[in-house]
Chains A and B, each alone.
Chain A
Amino acid sequence: MEKGVQKSLSTHDLAIGYGKNVVGQHINFELHLGTLCAIVGVNGIGKSTLLRTMGRFQTQLSGNIQLNGKELDQYSPLERSKNLSVVLTEQPASQNLTVLEIIALGRQPYTNWLGTLSAEDEKHIHFALDAFLLNDLKHRKCHELSDGQLQRVLIARAMAQDTPIILLDEPTTHLDLYHKVQILKMLQQLAHDQQKTVLFTTHEIELAIQLCDKILILDGNENPFGDPCELIEQKHFEKLFPSEMVAFDAKTGSFKVSK
C-alpha cells in the first residue's frame, strides 16, 4: 500500500482544553492502521480531554486532527461514526440493556431508519461476541455484569461498529491485574489481527510498555511520541514522576518506589 493512501489518524500542533483553560498543547502524533497506542501521563494532564477532543465531544482550541488526510470536522456525523468508535468511562445510561442489545447498537450507522439488522450486521455482532468471549453472557442485563465483563461488552460494541479507529478512555480502571492484561491483550489482537488503530488512555504504564506499538506521553510541553523502546532510551519515562518518589528502571521497564 502506498504511504499516501494508507489510512491514518494524526494531530498537528493540537491544543486542547475548555474555553480559556488550556489543558494541553503542541500535541503531535501520527498513527497507522494495525497500531495499538497508549496515551499516558499524570492525573489532570489532559489524557481524557485529548480523547474527548478526538471523539468530537468537545472542540480543540487550535491545531487540527486529520483522518486519512481530511480534517475530522469535515466528516458528517454519519461518516464519522463509520470511521471512529469510542469506549468511554461512563456506563450505559440504561442498566436494563442486554449485552446483545448493547453490541447490536454498534451497528446503528449501517442500519436503515427502523434499525433492522441485515445478515452483514448479524455477522459483525456474532464476530464481536466471539472475539470478546461474550456468547454465554449475551442475554444478561447490563447491571448483572462485573466491571471486567462490562468493559468487554463496551469494547465489543465498538468492534461491531466496524470502524478503522477505536478510542478508549481508561479501559483498564477498576480492574484487577489479570483483567487489565486480558483487556489490553484483546485490544492488541484487535489492532493487529483486524488492522485497526486502537488509541487508549491508561495509567498502566508498565503494561503499556510491554504491549503497545506506540506510546504518547503527555507531559505538558513536549508530549513525546514513539515506540516504547525509543522512549525508554530517550529517558522520557524518568521525567514522568518526581524521582524522589518514584524511579523508572530502564532495564526492566518498570517503576520502583524510591527509598
Chain B
Amino acid sequence: MQQSRTYRISFILIGLALLCSWILNLSSGSVQIPFEETVSILFGGIPKVEAWSYIVWNYRLPKSFTAILVGGGLSLSGLLMQTLFRNPLAGPFVLGISSGASLGAALLLMGMTLITGMASFSFLGDVSLALAASIGSFLVLAVVMIVAQRVKDTMALLIIGLMFGSITSAIVSVLAYFSSAESLQRFIFWSFGSVGNLTPNQILLLAGIVMIGLLLSILSLKPLNAFLLGEHYAQSLGVSLKKSRLVIIIATGLLAGGITAFAGPIAFVGLAVPHLTRQIFDTMEHKVLIPAVFLYGAILMLLCDTLAQWPNSASVLPINAITSLVGAPVVIWLLVRKRKMLF
C-alpha cells in the first residue's frame, strides 16, 4: 500500500513522548524522586538519597518495562482484532478475549489449588499461568471468529462478546465460591490488574510473548493490509485466507492472553489506542500503524501507571480502574464523533 506521507516527524514526536512519560513514570510513586535525579540515576549517577537508586533500579524500572510491554502489546492486539473483524469496536476486552484469559487464569489459580491444595509460585507456575490464560483467550477468540462468520452485524458481535464476559465471570464466581480464601485473594488481586510485582523471569517471559506477537504481526503485514478491502478482495490478491487468519489469531491470542496472565485483565487500552493513534497517524497502512500503535499504547500505559501511583501516597490504585476511567470516555467521545470511528 502506498503511503501518502512518511510520518517521520510524528514518529520522532511519539518517540520523545515515550521517553518523557517513561522518565515521569520512573520518578513518580510513593517516594517522589525529582525528574533530574531520575535521569542521573539512569546514567549511573549517585543520588542524594541512596535508597532512590535501589527503588529505581529494582522496582520502578522493571515495572516500567512491564507497563511498556503491556500497553504496547494490548494495543497491538486491539489493532489486529479491528482489522481481522473489520470492526472499529473490536478489542481484547470488548470481545471477551480478556474474559477468556481470566477464566483460564481463574481455573489455574483457584481450580488447581482446589485439586492439589497448593499454590505454586515457581517459574513453571508462571509458564502455566501464561499458557492457561492464552488458551482461554484462544478459545474465546476462535468461538467469536466462528460466530463472526455467521453474523455480519457489528453490534451482534459485540453483544456476543459481552455474553462471553458474563459466562466467564459466572464460572469464575462459582470457582470463587468453592476456593480457599488464600487463592481467592490471589485471584482478586490479579483481577485488579498490576504492572508491578513481576519477577525478572516473568518480565522476560512476557517480553518473549510480546515479541512473538509483534513478529507474527509484522509477518502478516501484507494480509492485514489486504483485509482492509474485505476478505474477497484479499483472496483475489493471492492472500491465503485460512493461513493468514490463523497467524493473526495466534498473534492476538498470545498478546492478549500472555499480557492478561501477568498483568491481569486491563480494560479499554486495546480498543481505544488504535483509534487514538489514527488521530495522529491518519493512515490505514499497517507498516505505519503497528509501530505507532505499539508506542502509543506504551505511552498510555506508562501514564496510567503514573496516575495509579498519584499523589505521593503509599497505596497504589488498581491499574484496571485507571485505564477504564481514561479509556471509556475516549470510546464514548469517538462514538459521538462517528466519522472518526469509521474503520
**Cβ contacts under 8 Å, A57 to chain B:** 232, 235
> Which of A57, A91, A93: most chain B CB closer than 10 A?
A93
Q: Which parts of B260-315 form the interface with A (CB within 8 Å)?
A: 278, 283-285, 287
Q: A104 contacts the other chain (Cβ, under 8 Å)? A: yes
Q: A16 contacts the other chain (Cβ, under 8 Å)? A: no
Q: In the complex the two chains form, is B221's CB within 8 Å of A115's CB? A: yes
Chain B interface size band reads 20 to 34
**Partner pick for A88 among B86, B221, B233, CB 8 A cutoff:** B233
Q: In the complex the two chains form, is A86's CB within 8 Å of B233's CB? A: yes
Q: In the complex the two chains form, is A113's CB within 8 Å of B342's CB? A: no
**Cβ contacts under 8 Å, B3 to chain A:** 101
Q: A92 contacts the other chain (Cβ, under 8 Å)? A: yes
Q: In the complex the two chains form, is B225's CB within 8 Å of A115's CB? A: yes
- The stretch of B99-107, B123-131, B236-244 that contacts the partner chain: B236-244
Q: A185 contacts the other chain (Cβ, under 8 Å)? A: no
Q: A56 contacts the other chain (Cβ, under 8 Å)? A: yes
Q: In the complex the two chains form, is B86's CB within 8 Å of A94's CB? A: yes
Give chain A nearest CB distance to B142 CB in angstroms.
21
Q: In the complex the two chains form, is A93's CB within 8 Å of B229's CB? A: yes
Q: Which parts of B190-221 form the interface with A (CB within 8 Å)?
A: 219, 221
Q: In the complex the two chains form, is B4's CB within 8 Å of A139's CB? A: yes
Q: B222 contacts the other chain (Cβ, under 8 Å)? A: yes
Q: In the complex the two chains form, is B240's CB within 8 Å of A93's CB? A: no
Q: B317 contacts the other chain (Cβ, under 8 Å)? A: no
Q: A203 contacts the other chain (Cβ, under 8 Å)? A: no
Give chain A nearest CB distance to B251 CB in angstroms.
16
A100-B4, A108-B222, A115-B287 known; A80-B343 Cβ under 8 A: no
Q: In the complex the two chains form, is A115's CB within 8 Å of B1's CB? A: yes
**Cβ contacts under 8 Å, B219 to chain A:** 113
Nearest residue (CB) in B for A92 is B229
Nearest residue (CB) in A for B5 is A139
Q: A114 contacts the other chain (Cβ, under 8 Å)? A: yes
Q: In the complex the two chains form, is B343's CB within 8 Å of A77's CB? A: no
Give chain A nearest CB distance to B220 CB in angstroms.
10
Q: A96 contacts the other chain (Cβ, under 8 Å)? A: yes
Nearest residue (CB) in B for A138 is B4
Q: B227 contacts the other chain (Cβ, under 8 Å)? A: yes
Q: Which parts of B42-75 form the interface with A (CB within 8 Å)?
A: none
Q: A102 contacts the other chain (Cβ, under 8 Å)? A: yes
Q: B228 contacts the other chain (Cβ, under 8 Å)? A: yes
Q: How far is the CA of A125 from the CA of B4 in the complex (A)?
A: 13
**Cβ contacts under 8 Å, B226 to chain A:** 105, 108
**Partner pick for A81 among B86, B227, B228, B237, CB 8 A cutoff:** B237
Mark A83-95 against chain B: 1 for CB-CB distance below 8 A, else 0: 0111010111111
Q: In the complex the two chains form, is B278's CB within 8 Å of A96's CB? A: yes
Q: A109 contacts the other chain (Cβ, under 8 Å)? A: yes
Give chain A nearest CB distance to B3 CB in angstroms.
8
Q: B117 contacts the other chain (Cβ, under 8 Å)? A: no
Q: In the complex the two chains form, is A96's CB within 8 Å of B342's CB? A: yes
Q: B15 contacts the other chain (Cβ, under 8 Å)? A: no
Q: B2 contacts the other chain (Cβ, under 8 Å)? A: yes
Q: B34 contacts the other chain (Cβ, under 8 Å)? A: no
Q: B230 contacts the other chain (Cβ, under 8 Å)? A: yes
Q: In the complex the two chains form, is B2's CB within 8 Å of A80's CB? A: no
Q: In the complex the two chains form, is A114's CB within 8 Å of B221's CB? A: yes
Q: A62 contacts the other chain (Cβ, under 8 Å)? A: no
**Cβ contacts under 8 Å, A111 to chain B:** 222
Q: How far is the CA of A143 from the CA of B3 in the complex (A)?
A: 18
> Which of B1, B226, B284: most chain A CB closer than 10 A?
B1
Nearest residue (CB) in B for A77 is B238
Q: In the complex the two chains form, is B2's CB within 8 Å of A92's CB? A: no
Q: In the complex the two chains form, is B237's CB within 8 Å of A108's CB? A: yes
Q: In the complex the two chains form, is B233's CB within 8 Å of A92's CB? A: yes
**Cβ contacts under 8 Å, B230 to chain A:** 88, 90-93
**Partner pick for A105 among B229, B287, B343, CB 8 A cutoff:** B229
**Cβ contacts under 8 Å, A85 to chain B:** 236
Q: How far is the CA of A122 from the CA of B232 in the complex (A)?
A: 24
Q: How far is the CA of A113 from the CA of B218 in the complex (A)?
A: 9
Selected A-B contacts with CB under 8 Å, 28 pairs = A55-B232, A57-B232, A77-B239, A78-B238, A81-B238, A86-B236, A93-B229, A94-B86, A95-B343, A97-B228, A97-B229, A101-B1, A101-B283, A102-B229, A103-B2, A104-B1, A104-B2, A105-B1, A105-B225, A108-B222, A108-B225, A108-B237, A113-B219, A115-B221, A115-B222, A139-B4, A143-B342, A161-B237
Q: Nearest 6 A-B pairs (CB), nearest first?
A: A81-B238, A104-B2, A93-B86, A94-B228, A93-B230, A78-B238
Interface contacts beyond A88-B233, A109-B237: sample of 14 additional A-B pairs, CB < 8 Å, sorted by A: A57-B235, A81-B236, A88-B232, A91-B230, A92-B230, A93-B231, A93-B343, A94-B343, A101-B2, A104-B2, A105-B237, A113-B222, A115-B221, A122-B2
